[in-house]
Structure 1
Amino acid sequence: AGPFDRFFSVVLPLAKPGFITATILGFAHTVGEFGIVLMMGGSIPQETRVVSIQIYDHVEALQYANAHLLAAIMLCFSFIVLLGLYGFQRKRSGVGLHYGG
């Protein structure tokens, strides 16, 4: 088999779980990143509205209950993403699967 055939039939299938994990963790990290949102998207009122900026705006307006609610929602979202990733890794690695015989 040629190098491209080996790469696409051996290397990529073995690396697929790592690519999926990196994508999910990258997404979860980017969702909560505050500085990059301000640098790339700016803070244009009513146009670039993301949760991290919305929390910041609530705190500036002394609306702590709204800020806490949004922060709790983001925390739950993060846990759901991490639990999903953990479940995917367990399923992929075969941990907990018993083969009766």
Structure 2
Amino acid sequence: MSRTFIPFRRVHMFTKSLTALALLIPVAAFASGMVPAEEVQTAIRDQLSAQGFVVHEIEAEDRGYEVEADKEGLSWEVTLDADFNIIEMEEDDDGSKDSDG
């Protein structure tokens, strides 16, 4: 019977590669501009709707989410952390850039 010998170094490199891949997968979930999972979108819509927002778009951003929404006639860009806490709200004035007066 012959046994296949795999050097320790090769096994160690393979293990390190798998570990690196496992660490990168969650990071990819927060890649900029990606659409989050339906459950996440529903949770964000429910939370912001309860606060009077009408949500138009949700994108995954660096370690959180960016939401375009309207409230009381104004457009807002709302930034949420990974736990859906509002960390920044900014009036979205993109519409005014298109009109030259």
What's the TM-score, normalizing by structure 1? 0.36
Higher relative contact order (CA 8 A, sep 6+): 1
Structure with greater helix share of residues = 1
Larger radius of gyration between Structure 1 and Structure 2: 2
Structure with greater strand share of residues = 2
